[in-house]
Amino acid sequence: MTETNYDVVSVGGGPAGLCAAMYSGRGMLKTLVIERGLTGGELLNTDVIEDYPGFESVKGPELAQKMTDHALKFGAELVTDTVKSIEKREDGDFDIETELGKTYRAPTVILTAGGTPRKLDVPGEKEYAGRGVSYCAVCDGAFFKGEVLAVVGGGDAAVEEADYLTRYAEKVYIIHRRDELRASQIIQKRAFANPKIEVIWNKVVAEVHGEPKGVAHLTREDTQTGDTSRLDVGGVFIFIGFTPNSGLVKGHYEHDAGGYIITDSNMMTSISGLFAAGDLRVQLVRQITTAVGDATTAAIAVEKYLAEKRDKELEAVAST
């Protein structure tokens, strides 16, 4: 069955999707959020947030609940389902197909499906996530003042984040599986000039160990000899890639080499009527504030897009 009674559908119910829905609902647009799990996105994986204005310290799940309630208060509807595909039809509307076999048809879509940091997939990583295992230096660095930390990875993100973490940490080891970094020369130069950074070459993390309060040490494995050794650290930051959930869109749309969606300044993608906001969009930094900022712009741009579309339809009727 196809449901056609929405002006806008947010695909994903993280901070971006919920914020967009709050604005669209408040702007009296018929709004739907389709979320595959519990609403809140990455907020649900975050213990304490200290960098969202107005909240000096707030638990991730608590902020997720507040954002959900706020969107629902202004009339947004929420369904729990997984979107399989988003496709633009010849008449200009979008068909959004879900795993439960439903099709939602709407003139605009805001894609807010976020992305997933790549995991090491080693013992202890999941167990200590949020208790010393982190995928975001800007988010969690301040919790590690005076500690010894490890950063895993060798690309721009890993080396830049290691440099950033030295603001708080006493020492930062970069653990890299090869004998040279992939990061650009300028970023490497800055890291090598930083006395708090030491690179550990040709090693991978084989296990994360901890105690009740969090990470205590790592087992590292030599990629050439297979020898293992212990490294005492208070936290490990993993930067081995991030996969944006942008593959739901059928048809060609502009994206960068990493699959991040390119938009204009109104958050519209290269497909007219399809907007993108939050972590899956090309941008400098991925935070809650940037996700809701994008979403605000997208929701207001959707209103303008729909108003212009209606004007054109009225003009076409008047001219016949």
Q: Which is nearer to ligand FAD, 118 or 190 (CB)?
A: 118
Q: Which is nearer to ligand FAD, 142 or 314 (CB)?
A: 142
Known catalytic residue at 136: yes
Q: At closest approach, how far in Å is the CB of 115 from ligand FAD?
A: 6
Neighbours of 264 (CB within 10 A): 11
Q: At closest approach, how far in Å is the CB of 47 from ligand FAD?
A: 8
Question: CB-based contacts of 276: which residues, under 8 Å, 6+ apart?
Answer: 110, 111, 112, 246, 261, 263, 267, 269, 294, 298
Q: Which residues of 148-169 are buried (b: 16+ CB within 10 A; e: fewer)?
A: bbbbbbbbbbbbbbbbbbbebb
User: Which residue in 140, 163, 279, 294 is the catalytic one?
Assistant: 140
User: Which residue in 139, 163, 279, 294 is the catalytic one?
Assistant: 139
The backbone region for 310, taken as left when phi is positive above 0, alpha when psi lies in -120 to 50, beta otherwise, is alpha
Q: Contact at 8 Å (CB) between 202 and 223? A: yes
Q: At closest approach, how far in Å is the CB of 78 from ligand FAD?
A: 11
77-80 and 31-35 strand pairing: parallel
Q: Is 110 helix (H, G, I), strand (E, B) or coil?
A: strand
Residue 217 bridge partners (DSSP): 209, 232
Q: Which is nearer to ligand FAD, 56 or 227 (CB)?
A: 56
Q: Which is nearer to ligand FAD, 136 or 148 (CB)?
A: 136
Q: How is residue 111 written in tokens?
A: 């894609």
Q: How is residue 271 written in tokens?
A: 């497909």
Q: Please give the Cα distance from 34 to 36 (Å, whole number).
A: 7
Q: At closest approach, how far in Å is the CB of 237 from ligand FAD?
A: 10
Neighbours of 48 (CB within 10 A): 14
Known catalytic residue at 139: yes
DSSP 8-state class, residue 263: -
Cα distances (angstroms) measured from residue 117 to each of 67, 90, 150, 245: 23, 35, 17, 11
Q: At closest approach, how far in Å is the CB of 202 from ligand FAD?
A: 28
Q: Which is nearer to ligand FAD, 16 or 29 (CB)?
A: 16
Q: At closest approach, how far in Å is the CB of 44 from ligand FAD?
A: 8
Q: Is 295 helix (H, G, I), strand (E, B) or coil?
A: helix
Q: Which is nearer to ligand FAD, 14 or 210 (CB)?
A: 14
What residues make contact with ligand FAD under the rule CB under 6 A? 11-17, 34-37, 41-43, 45-46, 49, 51, 82-83, 112-114, 117, 135-136, 139, 245, 248, 278-279, 286-289, 291
Q: Which is nearer to ligand FAD, 16 or 151 (CB)?
A: 16
User: Which residue in 81, 95, 136, 222 is the catalytic one?
Assistant: 136
Q: At closest approach, how far in Å is the CB of 27 from ligand FAD?
A: 19
Distance of CA 146 to the CA centre of its chain: 28
- List the catalytic residues: 136, 139-140
